[in-house]
Amino acid sequence: MTRILHVSDLHLEDGFPGVPWKSFANKRLVGLANLRLLRRRLFAQARQKVDALADFAREQGVDLVVCTGDYTALGTDAEIAYARRVIEPLTHAPQGFFTVPGNHDVYLQDAVRAGWFEKHFGEFLRTDLPEYAVDGPWPQVWLSVDGLALIGVNSARPNPNPTLSNGRIPDAQLDALARILDDERVRDRFIIIATHYAPRLANGQPDRPHHGLENADALLEISCAVQRGVIVHGHVHRRYHVWVAESHLPLCCAGSTTHEGREGLWVFDVEEHRAVATPGRWDQLRYILEPDQAFEIFA
């Protein structure tokens, strides 16, 4: 059995020492005001929770950790460096740490141009099938765990307009994903497709256009090629899972694993003939599983 822990939207932040003021002459000023007014309180314990998460992973015998992005608040170089330091204990799972960025990690063009996410998280961005990498390392594919294929598609992009936080998987990545799912080295495995944005909300409906995944329908259609697997994501700060008519795979949203009062996570136990998803939550000082709310992905 392989046990996978899925977390998301950690939103770590340690103030902005040394960040030049010109970095705020844009959408970050709105983001900073929002952070000071509201977000900072909601994520005040984020660092302690990530430490507790690493304890939880160890105690629960987690083999592999998957994080679906949004490590930061405003995607500055200093924040990404800080987040990378904080998550270090989480990256020690025996089979590794698999990740995709969130929109807050590529908040504005300056972050993308400078490659801050790649600079600090580059060691996790590798693919076992480089022939399909069409957009930097994306889609990234890990085949290192027996019986499992992890596929990350990057749906995060800068949104300079303060009213927008939507995403899109570039068409070239989607085309590559379709070919990956048809590859004989992949198709018989249990497949975890990870991306930041939610293809559907908890009620099975698409997210609002200014917040959602533009080409969610195309992703779901391509995912129909998968026999056994799950789509994991974050961005919506509520933990949920939903089965939708457009895909054979359940969608599992970890929500935000550190958001005060809404902390969520998923644990997937994958065996050859069975896979079970168990949600987890924060319980004052530690994370706990909720086995009474577990469901079978296939059996």
Cβ-closest residue to Fe ion?
A: 235
For the CB of residue 186, give the shortest distance to Fe ion in the complex, in Å: 27
DSSP state at residue 124: G
Pairwise CA distance, residues 5 & 118, whole Å: 23
Radius of gyration (Cα) for the chain, nearest Å?
18
Q: Which of 39, 47, 233, 235 binds Fe ion (CB under 5 A)?
A: 235
The region of 51-59, 67-75, 127-135, 202-210 touching Fe ion under the rule CB under 5 A is 67-75
Name residue, tokens 């198709």: 187
For the CB of residue 250, give the shortest distance to Fe ion in the complex, in Å: 20
Strands (E), the chain: 2-7, 64-67, 97-99, 140-142, 148-152, 190-194, 229-233, 240-242, 251-253, 264-270, 275-283, 286-289, 295-298
Using CB under 5 A as the binding rule, the residues of this chain from 143 to 202 that contact Fe ion are none
Q: How far is CA 51 from the centre of its chain?
A: 18
Is residue 68 within the footprint of Fe ion (CB under 5 A)?
no
Is residue 70 within the footprint of Fe ion (CB under 5 A)?
yes
Q: In Å, what is the CA distance from 194 to each residue of 7, 10, 133?
A: 11, 16, 15
For the CB of residue 105, give the shortest distance to Fe ion in the complex, in Å: 9
Residue count, binding to Fe ion (CB under 5 A): 4
For the CB of residue 235, give the shortest distance to Fe ion in the complex, in Å: 4
Q: Which of 75, 96, 101, 102 binds Fe ion (CB under 5 A)?
A: 102
Q: In Å, what is the CA distance from 278 to each residue of 34, 101, 105, 264, 296?
A: 33, 24, 28, 11, 9
For the CB of residue 63, give the shortest distance to Fe ion in the complex, in Å: 26
Q: Is the preceding peptide bond at 139 cis, omega within 30 degrees of 0?
A: yes
Is residue 103 within the footprint of Fe ion (CB under 5 A)?
yes
Residue nearer to Fe ion on the CB measure, 95 or 154: 154
Is residue 140 within the footprint of Fe ion (CB under 5 A)?
no
Which parts of this chain interact with Fe ion (CB under 5 A)?
Answer: 70, 102-103, 235
